[in-house]
Chains A and B, each alone.
Chain A
Amino acid sequence: MDAARATAMTLRVLTWTLLVWAGVTGLACFAVSRAFALRADGASGRIVASVWSHGQIIARAVVTDAAEPAPALDAALASNPGATRVDERIVGEGPVVTRPIAALPMSLVPGRDGLEVTLDGRTEYLTPDELLARQAYDRGINVAALGLTAGLDAELALAILAERFGVPVTGLLDRAKVRRFRVLRSIPGASPPRVITAETMTDEDVRSGAIAAGRFLARGVDAEGRFRYLVDAPTNRTLSGYDWPRHAGATYFLAQVAALLDDARINWATLRAASQLRDHAMVECGDNRCIGSDRIVDVGSTALAVIAFAEIAKTKLDPAYSLVVPGLTAFLRAQQRSDGEFMHEYDRSERRRIDVQFLYYSGEAALALSRAHSLLHDPADLDAARRALARLVGPGWSFFGSRYYFGEEHWTCQATDDLWDRAPNAQALDFCLRWQAFGHKLQYEAGETPFDAEGAYGLGPLLTPRLTPVGSRSEAGIATLDAARRAGSPASELSTLELQMRSSLALLLRHQFRPGLRHLLVEPDAVEGAMPASEVDWQLRIDFAQHTGSALVRWLSLGR
């Protein structure tokens, strides 16, 4: 028989082949799904009880009942005043895939599941609390091109377990039996915290959340006016990195809180942060002034500095800041093209504008020019802001499919609201309402993911929802709601958007460190009020608190 006769296929054979394939695949899918689901067996019902002190476990016992005597735990509590006993009750178990090793990171639900490893008759539990304290979730797989990280840091988890068993990491997976388990956490003697939802959220919740975020940022402003830009929450270590746009944005939020509270510490921190911008970061950019420290500077730093300075001047925290605004807005206007778009970079050495565009900067510049006009009434600022907004929502976002896909437009929609009374742009409002409606489709409802994600945005349950986009989209959504009300939009559209915002704000308040899982933190008071990047990623960057805090302040100022 030749090769052709051996490989060609009749219609009957093909049909049967495809039918059998589809049937076998369907059955296999059902079996795999069932096999890896959690079920209550084995260790279920056991309690992994740990005593934590300053973010470290100092004693542990596995008990079957919370009331069961555990002398080791009692002794640890007695000898460590301030230590906390935390019970993690196992409510389900399931197998994990350890081969290929790339499957192990995705075998655990972040923040919910731990690893139960049995080796030579001894079982060790690596609980969700431990994995959170070591920041092992969402560190496993990094897709740099998409800016995504997901899954357990299996290398770290195995290293911890190997140390606990006193064996080398190499070969641990070959010798040990590994399962996952899900827990419910409780702190004996402590009453469960009140759960804030869209329905139960009050203005006082929002106000105290905004103030706590402001106090967190204010505590991090040093004598020179620089923020603790990035903090590892469990250890309270300051990590490397700095960024002028985010410094300016955080200063803006501090000014908002200063106006809300009139607290001397926050006022003083705001002015130190602002003076760092004015006295150390403001440089010559050709004939104008701009914010930056390098040869190439960007429009975003200057735009956000204008927004911060305008807020400080408007709220009378220091009216003199209005004097530095015109030099900065002149720079922004000089960067604007005739079609309204901005050239986002400037080469100070060559006194040359660089016509490149990045995320956010054009929206920031539009809002900055609008705020500057509100403060100083220079018609050139209003005209520039109006043209920038028209470009952003018109030719700047016009392509096949632009109705089905959006960028991050939080500054654009804040500019839309800000300009509404002076230069209303119906196309911009329509754009922002469509963007929020798009977001509404992507907003999680309760029970849609394994996480506490009601009000967050995302697709599917695999990626732990990020909180910063929730904050920034809430800033924009509340601004859009404000403008839409003034524009007389239909009540049904407004009520949908209002509920969407309430759901997001409630989520942010639930995840704010107030106080959070204090037992996992070395210095919980230092990070009180901070916003984590996600439920399990506890790196605290200043813009996380800024976006959430600004959204909360906006909500309070919304005329409801």
Chain B
Amino acid sequence: MLSRRVAIVFGAGNLLAAVLLFVGVFVALPARWWPVDSGAAVLIGLELVSGVALLANGRLARRLAVVAAAVALALGMAVVTTLALTASWLAGVYGPVGRGGALILVLVSALALPYFVVWPAIQLVWMPPGRQP
């Protein structure tokens, strides 16, 4: 069973991830594109609901957190893979992306990885089957 302290940390972390994703996609990105926007919207919703449920010690909090973490991990891995494949395609077309391009790609990955790969992975490992918050 998750301790109250861990539930609060996970809840706050999920809310932070939701805010970061909202700012990153709906404020920072200069154009709207439905595949990105809808994926982000779904994940923001899950992170918000699970975060609030964990903080409120709700009955379905653990299940919601597991679902949110699984979806975040899947989408996060998909995004990083897509970025890497896009960079590889561009490198095939244009030649090596160079120091500047590589730096930008590494920075983008570094922004996405902690919140949408590492964080949900920690949650999934920390919440083994059957445990309740």
User: Which chain A residues have a beta carbon within 8 Å of chain B's beta carbons?
Assistant: 2-5, 7-11, 14, 18, 21, 25-26, 28-30, 32-37, 94, 97, 106-109, 143-146, 180, 442, 448-450, 458-462
Contact = CB atoms under 8 A, between A and B. Distances in A.
Nearest to B30: A145
Contact of A32 (B92, B124, B128, B129): B92
Given A25-B81, A25-B84, A462 B124 contact: no
Contacts of B30: 143-146
Interface of B: 30-31, 62-63, 66-67, 70, 77, 80-81, 84-85, 87-98, 100-104, 117, 121, 124-125, 127-130
A145 B31 contact: yes
A94 B63 CA distance: 49
A292 to B, nearest CB: 32
B129 A4 contact: yes
In this complex, which of A5, A11, A32, A145 has the most chain B Cβ atoms within 10 angstroms of its Cβ?
Answer: A32
A18 B100 contact: no
B104 A30 contact: no
Contacts of B92: 32-37, 94
Given A7-B66, A21-B81, A143-B30, A459 B104 contact: yes
A7 B70 contact: yes
A343 B41 CA distance: 42
Contact of B100 (A2, A109, A459): A459
In this complex, which of A25, A30, A94, A180 has the most chain B Cβ atoms within 10 angstroms of its Cβ?
Answer: A25
Contacts of A29: 84-85, 87-88
A28 B85 contact: yes
A109 B129 CA distance: 52
A4 B89 contact: no
A215 to B, nearest CB: 36
A457 to B, nearest CB: 10
A97 to B, nearest CB: 7
23 contacts: A2-B63, A3-B66, A4-B63, A4-B129, A4-B130, A8-B66, A9-B124, A21-B77, A25-B84, A25-B85, A28-B84, A28-B85, A28-B88, A29-B88, A32-B85, A32-B92, A94-B92, A94-B93, A180-B93, A450-B95, A459-B100, A461-B96, A462-B97
- Main DSSP-derived SS at the A contact region: helix
Contacts of A3: 63, 66-67
B74 to A, nearest CB: 10
A85 B67 CA distance: 66
B28 to A, nearest CB: 10
In this complex, which of B62, B89, B96 has the most chain A Cβ atoms within 10 angstroms of its Cβ?
Answer: B89
Contacts of B63: 2-4
- Main DSSP-derived SS at the B contact region: helix
A106 B89 CA distance: 10
A11 B88 CA distance: 30
B6 to A, nearest CB: 14
A106 to B, nearest CB: 7
Contacts of A11: 125
A337 B128 CA distance: 64
Contacts of A25: 80-81, 84-85
Contacts of A36: 89, 92-93
A143 B128 contact: no
B100 A458 contact: yes
Contact of B101 (A2, A35, A462): A462
A458 B63 CA distance: 48
The 9 A-B residue pairs with the shortest CB-CB distance, nearest first, are A460-B101, A36-B92, A459-B100, A145-B30, A29-B88, A5-B129, A33-B88, A9-B124, A32-B88
A495 to B, nearest CB: 23
A28 B81 contact: yes
A461 B80 contact: no
A521 B93 CA distance: 28
A255 B129 CA distance: 80
Contacts of A2: 63
Nearest to A448: B98
B122 to A, nearest CB: 9
A36 B117 CA distance: 29
B97 A143 contact: no
A34 B89 CA distance: 8
Nearest to B71: A7
A106 B86 CA distance: 11
Contacts of B94: 109, 449-450, 461-462
B90 A18 contact: no
A460 B104 contact: yes
A499 B98 CA distance: 22
B93 A107 contact: yes
B104 A9 contact: no
Contacts of B91: 33
Given A143-B31, A146-B30, A460-B97, A8 B129 contact: yes
Given A33-B88, A460-B104, A8 B81 contact: no
Nearest to A110: B94
A485 B118 CA distance: 52
In this complex, which of A2, A4, A97 has the most chain B Cβ atoms within 10 angstroms of its Cβ?
Answer: A4
In this complex, which of A29, A37, A145 has the most chain B Cβ atoms within 10 angstroms of its Cβ?
Answer: A29
B43 to A, nearest CB: 15
B13 to A, nearest CB: 17
B97 A461 contact: yes
Contacts of B95: 449-450, 461
Contacts of A106: 90, 93
A456 to B, nearest CB: 12
